[in-house]
Structure 1
Amino acid sequence: MRVLVTGASGRLGHAVLARLRDDGIRVRAASRRPRTGGEVEWVVTDLATGEGLTEAVAGVDAVLHLASAPQGRRTYQVDVLGTRRLVVAAGAAGVQHLVYVSIVGVDRVPIPYYRHKLAAEQVVAAGPVPWSVLRATQFPQFLDDMLAASARLGPVIGDRAVLAQPVDTGEVAARLAARLVAGPLGGIEEYGGPQVLRFDEAVRAWQKARGSRRPLLPVRIPGRLGRELRAGGLVTEVLPRGVRTWADHLADTYGGTERR
């Protein structure tokens, strides 16, 4: 099997490339900028313009679509219109399976970026290529980065009752590799981490791991957004789940914290 991976230079992309390579799958990796290495074939594509897409999908059996632009003005161009360009090009090339990576909660949590991800799911489902969508919960690195950014301003700021379910990047990569091999689902699969944590629980563990004494300043998120986040809009009860916990991530990142 030969697979095109979009967004191959990102955090999840690195984990996916390693996993597919270990599984003996031939990989064509797409990036906006020229790259080499990683024992894969690199190609230059730009979803915002369509540049390089025809060449990128030529001769591949499946597409693993990871590319996204979560911030800035490019989001709609990349995540929605770019996904449509990719789906059309893949259909014309006779690709047999397109797997799209989305986020748990895109159909519930009223965030503009999530609306674009949901629209991209709909583009994939309406397209000519047999498809699967994997919605994952948040990566622990994302939560870690968010807490670090908040702490630079003084106290850690957040709604202590918001629920999160960090899932290991490598485990999501393994799930994606398994979905490629299993073939098109024609539907949506959710995948989350092993634990659902309140924001204040996650913060306390993070502070302990870093030896930080910065206080948590609780700020209740208003409106529908806050209600959905506190009600579990970002988590899933679907099984199976990953096994690596938030504590595992903290131990690997900072050391000296007890795993649980």
Structure 2
Amino acid sequence: MKLYVHMSPADVAAIQPPIEDVYIVIDVVRATTAMTTMFDRGARRVLAADTVEQARQSAQRTPGRLLCGERHALPLPGFDYGNSPAEFAQLDLRQRELILTTTNGSRAFFACPTQSIRLAGCFYNAAAVTAAAIQQAERQKSNIQIVCAAENGYFALDDTVCAGYLVREIQRQLPALQCHESASTASELYQLYPPARLAACSHSIQQVVEAGLSRDIEICLQQSGSNSIGQVIRQEPETGLLILEPFTDKV
């Protein structure tokens, strides 16, 4: 088993890694953290939309689904909710289905190979998501690929630092694991930019703070506060949305 980190979804598209590998998608500020809190609050499904229009049309097609999303940190007009982990953490979402479209995060899931195992990872579920990835990779004798959502296609410090933390978590659980230099680099970046320093250096974090959503950042930077993991199970044929459900250990 080997561990890789991709600094943006474009890297995955260029390399086209194996479908058999396990993928952890990170958009720590805020999509994958929001997904984690949605499942914490009992959501049955989160459906990732690639575009705003796809999200709107899908919500019209299936009444009852909550329409959630943002562009450039701000909630979208006419949507039920934005992309705020702090807000979702206060809601009763038992058995609800939520459509989510975000500037970077929801799109990153589409960049991974179709039919691959795709898990939503972040600081908030780090211990749980890394344990699940190891379990699945050992079962199918494959590698682990960590995919950073990036920011508008460019390197994002927050996602790569979070990837570095996940690398360290995986190494802690599996000391014999081989790390590609991309994983080692991300791990070193985490050492340089621990959460306390990262908050002052990340453009994504500053953008959210300036939008008046500082409480979101507290959740986004909290380490292993949740055991919830969203997993892509399939693509919905009628809408093209990627369906995420809570991870279960499937033998």
User: Structure 2-normalised TM-score?
Assistant: 0.27
Greater C-alpha radius of gyration: 1
TM-score, normalised via structure 1 length: 0.26
Higher RCO structure (Cα 8 Å, ≥6 apart): 2
